[in-house]
Amino acid sequence: MKLAEHYGDKTPSELPMLFQRILVNCTLDWFRRNKTHSALFSNMGEFDAADSDGDFDLLETFSGLQDSHSTESTQDALQRAQLLREIEIEIQELPLRQREAFLMRYWEEFDVAETAAAMGCTEGSVKTHCSRAVQALSRALRAKGISI
């Protein structure tokens, strides 16, 4: 779709290279988004179990976890809540544009083009803001002794 939308006026000989570049960029964006999302929000991983028919109900899973003997201890729950609070604090400390780009890309799961349109900037700026946000969060959390 991107090839047709943005490069419809190009000669046929240029299209294979453009298609390959678009494909590589989209793939890299997807892996970056999933890597960061997984690193920061991995606590929801325990809810990933789906029924055999593919349906997933968070409430059923949560009530099943409460009834089981393998429920997380109060201390573990408190530590996890504190960790999430520290992450939220560090996200709030990011500069406004970095915070906007980070939350749209990795929390709301917008693609680069959607984020750029919402922020009123170029796709390159979005990538730069996201990269700087991830680096800043990583440094800040490491400085607090938090490794995710």
Q: State both tokens at 23.
A: 């494909």
Residue pair 120/134 in contact by the 8 Å Cβ criterion? no
The helix, strand and coil proportions of the chain, stated in percent and rounded to the nearest 5, come to: 75, 0, 25
Residue pair 105/94 in contact by the 8 Å Cβ criterion? no
* pLDDT score, position 98: 92
User: Looking at the predicted structure, is the pLDDT value of residue 69 above 70?
Assistant: no
* pLDDT score, position 38: 64
* pLDDT score, position 95: 93
* pLDDT score, position 51: 47
pLDDT digits (tens, 9 = 90+) for 29-47: 887 777 766 666 554 444 4
Residue pair 29/21 in contact by the 8 Å Cβ criterion? no
* pLDDT score, position 123: 93
Q: State both tokens at 16.
A: 């294979």
Q: How far apart are CA 56 and CA 63, in angstroms?
A: 13
Domain ranges of the chain: 12-38+80-148
Q: pTM for the complete prediction? A: 0.50
pLDDT digits (tens, 9 = 90+) for 72-100: 678 888 888 888 888 888 889 999 999 99
Report, at the CATH architecture level, how domain 12-38+80-148 is classified.
Orthogonal Bundle (1.10)
* pLDDT score, position 44: 46
> E strands within 1-139?
none
Residue pair 102/91 in contact by the 8 Å Cβ criterion? yes
Which band of pLDDT confidence, cut at 50, 70 and 90, is reported for residue 101? Answer: very high
